[in-house]
Structure 1
């Protein structure tokens, strides 16, 4: 029996040494492959930083111009021009505008993200109604109303 237990111990030692050799070989091979992969990688090239173009829009001046042109007591353009440009009478426009202001926070006059006065209710309603009336692109209102394309699209979406 001593012979059998002694030969069993030799077999266990052999299996243990084989397992250690396999683990050592596997570990060395994995480390070699990792090092080879790291050496082949190109150094990371930083992406260029692109800054957004900031367009200074004076919302207050645009609002005053719109007010003077159509909504003042003595507007630059009369009722006929208003009817032709807005495709409705001034009274209807004012009712729509007041209803939007009552029901939707978006149409209320407030500060924009930079802390400046944002677009007025009249500017937002004018943008939405003219888009519906003429079917023009959203960025066509930037020059007169100083409203960017994204804001004009938002105005139309909230209006609808």
Structure 2
């Protein structure tokens, strides 16, 4: 199963990039992970929040195929423990899912068209994190999920 992590904008802080790179390298032993960073919109001061979300939706939806199982990282999504997230991934890999696409939206969230296309929503916490920080948290949890599935000692309870 291929996993794509689709985001808008680049990770600017070096310490976050270093952490993300660390887990992306580790994940190569478990799954195919593609990191796709779409360029942030330019000249957004002239756009309202809804207009900006529509433009971002156009960028995101172009990168998704009809066969992709799309999961939005969204504060209103399902809340899972690390073990439950591992079981979720396992269920998808055992089933007919060949491609999972996890998406982090722009600063104002997702346009309704992206919500309509999504198959699931996942919340990493009830707390609010920066869009850059959530990238590191997500890849770490993805790595943790795979180590749980393999019975490796990374995860402790």
Larger Rg: 1
- TM-score, reference length from structure 2: 0.23
More strand by share: 2
TM-score (norm 1): 0.23
